[in-house]
């Protein structure tokens, strides 16, 4: 599975960088597609892991995986779709046997972004420049699927439920090449309060 994921990421990276050889400006532009791929700290968090483990539970959580695909409708507004996944759980052993409890969250929906830096540069005419920067605020709406599996010495059950989801984030990107940027987001994002990743201008 790991080899498949690595192969997919490498193929996607090569596709993005070979898609169009026409010179592009650095920074956010109207009329382009943008693919964000990032990882973040799970909301369950290291503190909860520590507390559970201190009571004898084998608690764990994996980094949150997120992806956004947006199109630049104007020089100030972009929009598209997002996906996020997180997973955590804990195991412990008692005299009656082993227990295993796990939670997974899959978030899917639509995302709209307002590009604050372009607004400052282009509309307020402050002449700040630095086109490599892109500060923005995003609003996400969609659905979140929660899966909860609980295994006891005598039974095993999995329950799934879907609920509406809404969240807002603010972030910044720095384009170190015309087609690639590093980004950092904070807020109530899909499955994480903070995301670090790469953006590819397609």
- Distance from C-alpha of 138 to C-alpha of 187, rounded to nearest angstrom: 10
CB 58 within 8 A of CB 92: yes
What pLDDT shows up at residue 127? 61
Using CA atoms of 186, 191, 192, 195 in order, give the dihedral in degrees to the nearest 10: -70
How is residue 22 written in tokens?
A: 């026409």
- Distance from C-alpha of 149 to C-alpha of 117, rounded to nearest angstrom: 44
Which pTM does this prediction carry?
Answer: 0.76
Q: Does domain 2-201 have CATH number 2.40.160.20?
A: yes
Per-residue pLDDT of the chain (202 residues), as tens digits, is: 444 344 444 444 454 444 443 445 778 889 999 999 999 987 665 555 555 555 566 777 788 999 999 999 999 999 999 999 988 887 777 777 787 888 899 999 999 999 998 888 777 666 666 788 999 999 999 999 999 888 877 788 889 999 999 999 999 999 999 999 999 999 988 878 889 999 999 8
First-last CA distance in the chain: 26
Residue 114, phi then psi, degrees to nearest 5: -105, 125
């Amino acid at each position: 599975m790991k080899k498949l994921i690595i192969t997919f990421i490498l193929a996607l990276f090569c596709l993005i960088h070979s898609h169009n050889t026409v010179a592009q400006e650095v920074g956010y532009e109207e009329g382009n597609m943008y693919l964000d791929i990032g990882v973040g700290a799970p909301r369950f968090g290291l503190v909860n892991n520590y507390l559970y483990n201190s009571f004898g539970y084998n608690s764990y959580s994996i980094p949150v995986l997120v992806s956004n695909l947006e199109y630049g409708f104007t020089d100030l507004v972009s929009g598209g779709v997002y996906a996020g996944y997180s997973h955590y759980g804990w195991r412990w052993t008692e005299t009656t046997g082993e227990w295993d409890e796990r939670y997974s969250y899959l978030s899917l929906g639509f995302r709209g972004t307002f590009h604050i830096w372009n607004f400052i540069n282009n509309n307020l005419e402050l002449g700040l420049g630095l086109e490599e920067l892109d500060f923005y605020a995003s609003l996400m709406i969609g659905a979140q699927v929660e899966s909860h599996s609980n295994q006891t010495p005598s039974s095993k059950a999995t329950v799934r439920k879907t609920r509406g989801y809404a969240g807002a984030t603010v972030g910044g990107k720095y384009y170190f090449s015309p087609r690639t940027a590093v980004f950092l987001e904070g807020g109530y994002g899909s499955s994480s309060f903070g995301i670090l990743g790469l953006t590819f201008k397609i």
